[in-house]
Structure 1
Amino acid sequence: MLKNELIKKLHLKYPIVQAPMAGGVTTSQLVAAVSNSGGLGMIGAGYLSPAKMRTQIQEIKKLTSNTFGVNLFVPEEFKIRAEQVESVNQLLNPFRTCLNLPQQEQTEIPSFHHVLETFKEQIQVVINEQVTVCSFTFGIPSKEFITELKQQNIILIGTATTVKEAIENEKAGMDIVVVQGSEAGGHRGSFIDEDNEGLVGLMSLIPQVVDQVNIPVIAAGGIMDARGLMASLCLGAEGIQMGTAFLTCIESGAHPVHKDAILQAADDQTVITRAFSGKPARGIHNQFIADMRNQELEVAEFPIQNTLTQDIRRAASAQNNSEFMSLWSGQSASLAKKQTVKELMKSLIAEAKKMNLNF
């Protein structure tokens, strides 16, 4: 039986983590199904209010008695400038015209203080609801938060896109680190080199990180099946995190248009863009990304840009218009399948056993 430190720490049957995809993808059914199948289900709670987060945690507890976790976005300081908001809205208004939306000049954006207070409340929900695993993206929380969570015996997972970021996660007290290769779909978890020009691929990143940290490493980015699992374990990772593979599952809350776009995608169709949120993120190329390509230097930082494009993304979803949606996807999209979580996990484990992995 494969029994490494990661499996023991997280009380898992299999070293498989479902990526915490924010924005409604990680339904209670998806998270619970992963945990019930022996992996680690994760709530992508980055955009959830503390009240909605609490409700979902309580729902999942009714659906599984196994370990599951919550992922939070670490707030980064930002300043709202009226002239920048107006300027970006001018760039976005032609898209609003295409979607029959009203033109915008000034948009109400929550302040950094509000974002920070929400994060504090989210941390309290994790503690009060006795969630056993909490992971972080876009940075490392302050020492005070880490101490508070560790006092409750909550296992902490950080995210890194470089060796330097992985080392910082270990120094700060993270118990485990997810190393995110450039192949990964959705937002880059970078927080030191935020422009992320290095974009290190996963197979290069794993052994370099493993040689520099003592905490267990979870590999993420382009992994869709047992081949990715075996390769990651061979290079020294103790487990894998899969996003796109779970996004197209029946239980996922992703929009049907988003799922279809992934299921029909070719290997070269994903690109990294800042146009939707202000942070680099990998998704399927569409008209919005193409039209914004030359304006990427003018977009606002996260979460300002994310708020400014919200009406566009919502209207596109309501109108089933894939050209203006953020179709986040990893580079291995063409390996995605429409199936249940149980079917995905079952086939992954069966393939791994054929490759002589002793589960």
Structure 2
Amino acid sequence: MNLTSVFPHPIIQGPTAGGNNTPAQIAAVSNAGALGSLACSLLSPAAMREQTAQIRALTDKPFCLNFFVLETPRPDPADIAQAAEWLKPLWSSLGWSELPTPAKWCEDFAAQFEALIELRPAVASFTFGILSAEQIQRLHDAGIVVIGTITHAEEAVAWQGRGADAVIASGTESGGHRGTFIGAQEDATLKTFELLPQIVAAVDIPVIAAGGIMDGADIKRALNMGAQAVQMGTAFLVTDESAINPHYKQRLLTAGDHPTRLTRTFSGRYARGLVNRLMRELEPVEAQLPPYPVQNALTTPIRAEAAKRGDTELMSLWCGTGVARARPMPAAKLVETLLSEMNAA
């Protein structure tokens, strides 16, 4: 297939979970001829329905719903107690006598999947795992284009073999979570423009480049190397319609050469963000922390309280390595700017 038959311009606004995407942002991107994406990974089916309805009230153009492919965990209580103890310097610094116990570890992916079939967006994208051929067939039967996130060639071949329509080749520069699902996350070390040609050679389906892509010249380079489109998360995080915490946005806009790095400390899965106190304090025990979504659920109340207090040292400041080149403007204006830069390049 050709992705331009779904959305005219080769730009996908990357989904950014945690309430950072807004229906207004997604609609603005899609109305500008790119593909807006709603991060549904942390949304209940009811919230998915509500936000999808809000998007549809603002646009009749295609948009994407994005998900984490997850099994609901049943962690050992002793492991939870140990993790809470490792987190104690952080939660006690907030004045708490104990770490709040999460009501649940994650949303039920099976329930989200049924809601997705019901909502029938033009596109659905997935990360952290892979769908079965039967699930992909059900999405196709509902008229939904299926895109899988990959970090190396074996994963791309696996998605193609299951029937996916396209893959997102996510280089290590990408902000937020890594999508590795075959092999160790730390072994997926290729940067975007190292990974892209390998994936284009490995599969016959369209490849979307992601990671460190911040302007039209970057997009042109990706297209010249065989990508059909790019996915850009960090660039859209600072747009006017993004709902990220104002203190977080300010950190991104003033990041300069402040380092980013991949860390398991916040969520138990490698993700890239600006280095801060939480990352540094948990670094000695990083390898022992519970996997996603358990660690993510355990740190959520700490991060939420830090956000209320404007304390960015205890917030997850997800962003890619290109954050210093992020430009604040309305989302539609960013799409227009990227296209004119792409054409100039």
Q: Same fold (TM over 0.5)?
A: yes
* Alignment correspondent of 1:276: 266
* Alignment correspondent of 1:240: 230
d(CA) in 1 for partners of 2:104, 2:135: 22
* Residue 7 (str. 1) matches residue 7 (str. 2): no
* Residue 171 (str. 1) matches residue 165 (str. 2): no
Residue aligned with 1:196, SS: helix
* Partner residue of 1:82 out of 74, 77, 83: 77
Deviations 1:19-40 (A, max 9, x none): 1111111100111010011100
**Deviation of 1:41 (Å):** 0.3
Unaligned residue ranges in structure 1 (runs of 5+): none
Q: Is the 8 A contact 1:217 1:237 kept in 2?
A: yes
Q: Is the 8 A contact 2:255 2:323 kept in 1?
A: yes
**Deviation of 1:162 (Å):** 0.5
d(CA) in 1 for partners of 2:22, 2:97: 31
Deviations 1:2-21 (A, max 9, x none): xx81111x2x1201000111
**Deviation of 1:151 (Å):** 1.3
**Deviation of 1:350 (Å):** 1.1
**What is the identity, as a one-letter code, of the residue corresponding to 1:277?**
S
Question: What TM-score does the superposition give when structure 2 sets the normalisation length?
Answer: 0.97
Unaligned residue ranges in structure 2 (runs of 5+): none
**Deviation of 1:103 (Å):** 1.4
d(CA) in 1 for partners of 2:207, 2:264: 27
**Deviation of 1:79 (Å):** 3.6
* Partner residue of 1:58 out of 53, 56, 80: 53
**Deviation of 1:101 (Å):** 2.6
**Deviation of 1:143 (Å):** 2.8
Task: Identify the range of structure 1 (136-145 vs 323-332) with the bigger mean alpha-carbon deviation.
Answer: 136-145
Deviations 1:74-125 (A, max 9, x none): 0146441111100010111211121223313x834636xx85xx22222222
* Alignment correspondent of 2:29: 34
Judging changes above 3 Å, is the alpha-carbon distance between structure 1 residues 267 and 203 closer, same or farther for their aligned structure 2 residues? farther
Residue aligned with 1:179, SS: strand
* Alignment correspondent of 2:283: 293
d(CA) in 2 for partners of 1:133, 1:302: 25
Q: Is the 8 A contact 1:140 1:169 kept in 2?
A: yes
Give aligned-pair identity as a percent: 38
d(CA) in 2 for partners of 1:148, 1:338: 39
* Partner residue of 1:138 out of 128, 134, 138: 128
* Alignment correspondent of 1:20: 15
* Alignment correspondent of 1:353: 343
Q: Is the 8 A contact 2:120 2:143 kept in 1?
A: no
**What is the identity, as a one-letter code, of the residue corresponding to 1:48?**
L
d(CA) in 2 for partners of 1:301, 1:245: 28
**What is the identity, as a one-letter code, of the residue corresponding to 1:250?**
D
d(CA) in 1 for partners of 2:4, 2:306: 41
d(CA) in 2 for partners of 1:174, 1:318: 40
**What is the identity, as a one-letter code, of the residue corresponding to 1:203?**
F
Which runs of structure 2 are paired with 1:338-349 in the superposition (5 Å)? 338-349=328-339
Aligned length: 345
Judging changes above 3 Å, is the alpha-carbon distance between structure 1 residues 77 and 314 closer, same or farther for their aligned structure 2 residues? closer
